[in-house]
Structure 1
Amino acid sequence: MGQLTRNEVFTLAVQRYSDTVYRTAVHNCRCTADAEDVVQDVFEKLLHYNGIFESEEHLKAWLLRVAINRCRDLTRAAHQKDTELDENLPAPDVLAEDGSVLDAIRTLPENYRNAIYLHYYEGYTAAEIGRMMAVPTNTVLSWLRRARAQLHTMLKEEIEDEVV
């Protein structure tokens, strides 16, 4: 990607990864308006970024990391302002036809939620997620295992409640 100009890298990023960045933002924000703001912020940061991307995969990982960090900043800012976040917002329809699994994922702790999203929705390996999130690969594997166990428990209880 070293031969592409900054404008060409930006155009490539918007064309190929704007939907991915939006899905990541929706997954980590509590409302679609915040997710849309995050997408704008991510691409604005890309416009001002002076670094060089080694590959297209490096560009995608950078975009996703910036999106996750920006979502975290928004959540942190909301808590600092003592703003009540509505935890009961339904999952947006853009991510899944049946929101029950996605709703369950959104209740997981942030590190579990991001590991699940990056692994299952974006196809990253545990090692790649570890590099993106600056944690050891085994930590990511633990997060994935614990998240799956929590999801299994939550969804099993949901099914049992429906049967009764």
Structure 2
Amino acid sequence: MDKTSFTASVERYQDMVYRVALHVLASPQDADDAVQEVFLKLYTAQKPFQGEEHLRRWLLRVTVNHCRDVLRSPWRKRRASLDELPPQPVFQQPEQEALYQSVMALPEIYRIVLVLFYYEELSVREIGALLKLETSAVTTRLSRAKLKEQLGEVWQDE
């Protein structure tokens, strides 16, 4: 990948990669590290991409895989939080914070499906292909998350 197209890709997809990493890792610092690792993999990739959609899906797949590797790493399993919790993102509206807290309270298998479906607007079939799951498993995970019930009044149907 040449420098110009790499720079354009970083500018276009950096926020998407960060959002996915943040929702999987639940730490802004770890998400920043993941963004750097994913784009380093992109820069060193010898793979020609067949278009923007192919690149976008490749970045999502690499992000999810990298985050899962981080979660499985022995270092992460052995570390213990002392007194500090990672700082939470700042929200302009209380509803946004409530939604974020509800999503972050879910187990990782539900969180990643919700992020890809609602934030990245992928279809159930696309999520299934990306995570190597059957579409029925994706649908089940979406329904089990039950965000609507957890949020009560804060949730607004459009």
TM-score interval for Structure 1 and Structure 2 normalised by the shorter chain: 0.7 to 0.9
Q: In 2, distance between residues paired with 1:85 and 1:69? A: 24
Unaligned 5+ residue runs, structure 2? none
Alignment check: 8 A CA contact 2:26 2:104 kept:
no
Aligned to 1:111, the other structure's residue is in SS state helix
Alignment check: 8 A CA contact 1:78 1:84 kept:
no
Q: CA deviation at 1:153?
A: 3.6
Q: TM-score, normalised by structure 2?
A: 0.81
Aligned to 2:40, the other structure's residue is in SS state helix
Give 2:90's aligned amino acid. D
Aligned partner (choices 16, 24, 32) of residue 28 of structure 1? 24
Give 1:65's aligned amino acid. R
Q: Give the structure 2 partner of residue 125 of structure 1.
A: 123
Q: In 2, distance between residues paired with 1:18 and 1:122? A: 13
Give 1:76's aligned amino acid. R
Give 2:61's aligned amino acid. R
Q: In 2, distance between residues paired with 1:39 and 1:114? A: 16
Aligned partner (choices 81, 90, 93) of residue 93 of structure 1? 90
Q: Give the structure 2 partner of residue 162 of structure 1.
A: none
Cα separation, partners in 2 of 1:15 and 1:144, compared to 1, 3 Å: same
Q: How does 1:15-164 map to 2 (within 5 A)?
A: 15-77=11-73, 81-84=77-80, 91-93=88-90, 98-147=96-145, 149=146, 151-156=147-152
Q: Which structure's relative contact order is higher, taking Cα pairs within 8 Å and 6+ residues apart?
A: 2
Alignment check: 8 A CA contact 1:22 1:39 kept:
yes
Deviations 1:4-23 (A, max 9, x none): x5434422311210111111
- Give % identity: 38
Q: In 1, distance between residues paired with 2:119 and 2:93? A: 11
Q: In 1, distance between residues paired with 2:109 and 2:5? A: 29
Deviations 1:19-49 (A, max 9, x none): 1111111222232111111000000001111
Q: Which runs of 4+ in 1 moved over 3 A?
A: 5-9, 78-81, 88-91, 94-97
Alignment check: 8 A CA contact 1:90 1:103 kept:
no
CA root-mean-square deviation: 2.6
Q: In 2, distance between residues paired with 1:48 and 1:67? A: 15
Q: CA deviation at 1:83?
A: 1.6
Alignment check: 8 A CA contact 1:25 1:38 kept:
yes
